[in-house]
Structure 1
């Protein structure tokens, strides 16, 4: 699988998952526009890609605005002659429970994740369509957007919204030959390093050792590099028929998430008034109500976090 001759933008690619995506795309032959808000971090990412024989330039700017989206596409065109692939990875966290979350906490996360994805995809698609490019849009979601998570109202809203936009874009972009997919990664990141449940997995990665099979297989939890292969595949010609999908990846696990579908349907002549619902709802739907959040199995004794 080669991406030779292609150009990619990867937002939020100075470190972590975004850097893994950028490096993998470059290894496959794509020229990459790296993006980060920290100039030193962005420069290090460009140097790392160059050291592996790849080509990259940096755009130091926070995604969200239309101006930055235009700047990113312009950098791809001016530096490498075009644009073929967009990976929207940039994000921030402002985790707080609902009553403690401020307007600023909410707006900051929505602006970077949701608006940043929207503005960058709109600008990239305009380029694809104007130049007859069968482009690739890969938007990064999260299990939180699929299932919810305590203390992440803003993040859950943004990530769920991204998947909703991807489904819409798959419809709108089909005639132009452009695909749009969401990747739902589960990997060791700066955030998961603070969670005691994942301590042994993170420690193994930091030592350069394989993560225990329990994490990689039972939880589908792995390294950033475990996610990068899916991003490269979706960016390639091999995935030309894959669009509108939400695909989870982590460790040794690959998952195709379903689109929301009705899990139960009932009819009542004349419609559903309050009295009928109060009488029948529990009988009809009580055993079919859907769960929220993620639940994890108990850790084996040898993988439990150490007391500190």
Structure 2
């Protein structure tokens, strides 16, 4: 475990489900003090209670991070509760499916606001709280979809996730003088509550296309986030860490079959 995380003040947006919940649990186990942020305050409180029951420190907070007001209130709450802010995990995101010819402007704007605009607003609010302390960590949850791959129905999602990485690189440069690093994790096929409800045959098709022949876990993504948040990653910034089990490596799916035939 990364001992440098003990006692650190951490915000995790979108922290009530899937990868976000895994990140919250990871920080809680590492001894950090976590503010779990969600539009649904009851759900945020429930996840915070899970952390507390496991011996950690956490509190829930309701905020719409697609708005400046929500982000300002979120950061102020963390500073008041935990005497400052050390780490922001900009994890809030949605992925409703809509083909381009059927997608409305409202559909597109909603995804961009939730995924990309919230990253900008959360980062801007966090910088103000961090730079006076001379240190800080900002970690963005991006995706393989957009930066590396595409998938029908997710044009708006892919645009938002590719945009996050473009934003990250400039943010890393601007924040470096304050001792703040800005990085991202790029999860691949990660088993979450939503995926677990899909038909087994569909999941089997995905598994067959993954080099390790299994889905990743939310804890494995959290481990990457915890490293980027730690003192041990003090000279890592502007970096996108893929936690995808090599999903984007094969040139074609047949490469996996050819690899097996070589053994």
> TM bucket by the smaller chain?
0.7 to 0.9
Q: 1:50 to 1:164 in 2, by over 3 A?
A: same
The answer for the alignment partner of 1:223 in structure 2 is 217
Structure 1 SS opposite 2:113: helix
Contact 1:216 1:222 survives alignment (8 Å) = no
The answer for the alignment partner of 1:276 in structure 2 is none
Instruction: Give 2:121's match in structure 1, choosing from 113, 119, 122.
Output: 119
Structure 2 SS opposite 1:241: coil
Instruction: Give 1:59's match in structure 2, choosing from 54, 58, 61.
Output: 61
User: So what's the TM-score if we normalise by structure 2?
Assistant: 0.87
How far the C-alpha of 1:41 sits from its partner, in A, is 1.6
Q: Structure 2 stretches of 5 or more lacking a match?
A: 258-263
CA distance in 1, matches of 2:113, 2:54: 33
The answer for the alignment partner of 1:145 in structure 2 is 146
Contact 2:75 2:125 survives alignment (8 Å) = yes
The answer for the alignment partner of 2:260 in structure 1 is none
Q: Structure 1 stretches of 5 or more lacking a match?
A: 203-211, 258-293, 301-308
How far the C-alpha of 1:192 sits from its partner, in A, is 3.4
Structure 1 SS opposite 2:241: strand
The answer for the alignment partner of 2:237 in structure 1 is 243
CA distance in 2, matches of 1:145, 1:14: 24
The answer for the alignment partner of 1:132 in structure 2 is 133
How far the C-alpha of 1:33 sits from its partner, in A, is 0.5
> How is 1:76-225 mapped onto 2 (pairs within 5 angstroms)?
76-129=78-131, 131-146=132-147, 147-186=149-188, 187-193=190-196, 194=198, 199-200=203-204, 217-218=211-212, 221-225=215-219
How far the C-alpha of 1:5 sits from its partner, in A, is 2.1
How far the C-alpha of 1:189 sits from its partner, in A, is 2.4
Contact 2:211 2:247 survives alignment (8 Å) = no
How far the C-alpha of 1:215 sits from its partner, in A, is 7.4
Say how many residue pairs are matched. Answer: 252
CA distance in 1, matches of 2:236, 2:246: 15
Q: 1:9 to 1:244 in 2, by over 3 A?
A: same
Contact 2:49 2:59 survives alignment (8 Å) = no
Contact 2:90 2:122 survives alignment (8 Å) = yes
Contact 2:17 2:193 survives alignment (8 Å) = no
CA distance in 1, matches of 2:247, 2:153: 25
Contact 2:64 2:71 survives alignment (8 Å) = no
C-alpha RMSD of matched pairs (Å)? 2.7
Contact 1:247 1:256 survives alignment (8 Å) = no
Rg larger in 1 or in 2?
1
Structure 1 SS opposite 2:133: coil
The answer for the alignment partner of 2:42 in structure 1 is 40
Q: 1:43 to 1:167 in 2, by over 3 A?
A: same
Contact 1:136 1:235 survives alignment (8 Å) = yes
